[in-house]
Chains A and B, each alone.
Chain A
């Protein structure tokens, strides 16, 4: 792939990057990109020196156009850190991409002053490609970082949205809120069953007041949870079935079988207390607080 002239350009350009290192770093450190991600000018200089080093390595290897090149790979962790710096105030925007492109200008100006006429165009092309690839790697790193953040938040949401509440000795409730996808419903089931075991709860209330719609999949999941609880020796009650939801369930032909259902959580609690042989009644006299 690399012809003799290609190799010569590669060598000349990487030598140029090495010789002009200080001049390039000085100009880059002053560019809007490095200024926006660094705390102070020292750090901007350090960062740009590191970026230049990685870029030179890739150019020297003749891989200016390959984002997976070793030189660019070395930069990945630095760029991820820089991207997360940006994240604080803004996400990686088109502006950032433009700012990275602006790194080209000082580079090309210096090259113009230095290079032989015959290599001018070819060398400029290599440098330009290298900066473009750098931009690609930066966006890639930023996307990866955003993806990680998303995964972490998703996990936190799952944990937050499935609290198991102890309503009475032997009575647990789990308020299901929001759309139930398969992962969330699985987590809910597992934490409910685990609590049934640790609390030795005889009745568990699945409250679906906060679930906007009940389709066959959600119903299936509720049934499975109820069955598993029964196998463990506990009973499940489903509460919070609003008229519209009951209507939809009938339209869809969903049969909850032997699982007890109640319209409101209060009714379900009354049912649970009844199953435990407990009774709630008015006190004889007026309540004294």
Chain B
């Protein structure tokens, strides 16, 4: 499998998980993504999970870990488009993922990650 595609959108890494991932692929995805954050000097990561019918506890924990890791590298992680059934299941499992940023859609997630107004991008580089 080619792994999860990571797209750089002007400083924000957009990741769309397109199918159920095996635990092995989840681990690979985590290390790929964290490396890419450093490489791209990203200020944010958007993880789109709207396709997933199932998010198991391992993937949920990994999402949480990714958010913690990227925040150490000054990039904020937003999980986008979680389905109702998935959200209920995670809550029932006790995985409320405190501190994780969430958004309804990619568009909204991008606006969450937008640089503060008046903050010139050139100043970052």
Task: State which size class the interface on B falls in.
Answer: 20 to 34
Q: How far is the CA of A228 from the CA of B93 in the complex (A)?
A: 11
Q: Are A227 and B96 in contact (CB under 8 A)?
A: yes
- Mask, B80-103, CB within 8 Å of A = 1, is 111110111011100011001011
Q: Are A233 and B91 in contact (CB under 8 A)?
A: no
Q: Are B87 and A200 in contact (CB under 8 A)?
A: no
Let me know if A229 is at the binding interface, CB within 8 A.
Answer: yes
Chain A at the B interface: mostly helix, strand, loop or mixed? helix
Q: Are A233 and B84 in contact (CB under 8 A)?
A: no
Q: How far is the CA of A231 from the CA of B94 in the complex (A)?
A: 12
Chain B at the A interface: mostly helix, strand, loop or mixed? mixed
Count, A-B residue pairs, CB within 8 A: 60
Q: How far is the CA of A200 from the CA of B87 in the complex (A)?
A: 15
Let me know if B105 is at the binding interface, CB within 8 A.
Answer: yes
- Mask, A211-232, CB within 8 Å of B = 1, is 0000000000000100111111
Q: Are A200 and B84 in contact (CB under 8 A)?
A: no
Q: How far is the CA of A190 from the CA of B89 in the complex (A)?
A: 11
The residue on A at minimum CB distance from B112 is: A233
Given the interface pairs A228-B91, A232-B104, the reply to whether A190 lies near B84 with Cβ below 8 Å is yes
Residues facing A in B35-75 (CB within 8 A) are: none
Let me know if A41 is at the binding interface, CB within 8 A.
Answer: no
Q: Are A193 and B105 in contact (CB under 8 A)?
A: no
Let me know if A194 is at the binding interface, CB within 8 A.
Answer: yes
Q: How far is the CA of A189 from the CA of B85 in the complex (A)?
A: 10
A to B CB contacts below 8 Å, 16 in the list: A197-B84, A197-B104, A201-B104, A202-B108, A227-B87, A228-B90, A229-B87, A231-B82, A231-B90, A231-B97, A232-B81, A232-B82, A232-B102, A232-B104, A233-B80, A233-B82
